[in-house]
Amino acid sequence: MMDINKVTPIEKLKHINEYWNPHIAGELNGQYVKLAKLKGEFVWHKHDDEDELFYVLSGKLVIELRDKNMVIEEGEYVIIPRGVEHKPVAEEEVHVMLFEPKSTLNTGDVENELTRKNLNNI
């Protein structure tokens, strides 16, 4: 029988020591469940082929869009549709859970020092 375990995201996040570096916490239906710590500003980017869900576990995340800013509070989530340019900003440390297809690159259509092509499992 397959090994089935429950996951406590807050415990898993204790093992992440770098901002903007998502870790794989699970997998389902071709999607990764990722955990990340965010602080500061990310880069403007978009994902041409994937939608992206940001679920805020703790803190407050601002998602800048070209026409408005969205504030996502603890316990809330937002789905950024494919093709929509966005820039996550975290004034203070924020813990997030992300639901994305396996193919999703964290910086989307931009490659720079924040791009993470090989993610660690946690």
In this predicted model, what pLDDT tens digit does every residue of 35-93 receive, in sequence order? Answer: 999 999 999 999 898 999 999 999 999 999 999 999 999 999 999 999 999 999 999 99
41 CB-near residues (< 8 Å, 6+ apart): 87, 88, 89
> Could you identify the residue written with the tokens 């994937």?
50
Q: Which two tokens stand for residue 61?
A: 């995340």
- pLDDT recorded at residue 111: 66
Task: Give the span between the Cα atoms of 64 and 81, in whole angstroms.
Answer: 14
- pLDDT recorded at residue 30: 87
- pLDDT recorded at residue 67: 96
- pLDDT recorded at residue 10: 92
Bridge partner residues of 36 (DSSP): 96
CATH code, 9-101: 2.60.120.10
Task: Give the span between the Cα atoms of 96 and 78, in whole angstroms.
Answer: 11
Please state which of the ranges 6-10, 88-92, 113-117, 118-122 shows the lowest mean pLDDT.
113-117
Domain ranges of the chain: 9-101
88 CB-near residues (< 8 Å, 6+ apart): 38, 41, 42, 54, 61, 62, 63, 64
- pLDDT recorded at residue 102: 74
Cβ(100)–Cβ(116) below 8 Å:
no
In this predicted model, what pLDDT tens digit does every residue of 19-45 receive, in sequence order? Answer: 999 999 999 898 999 999 999 999 999
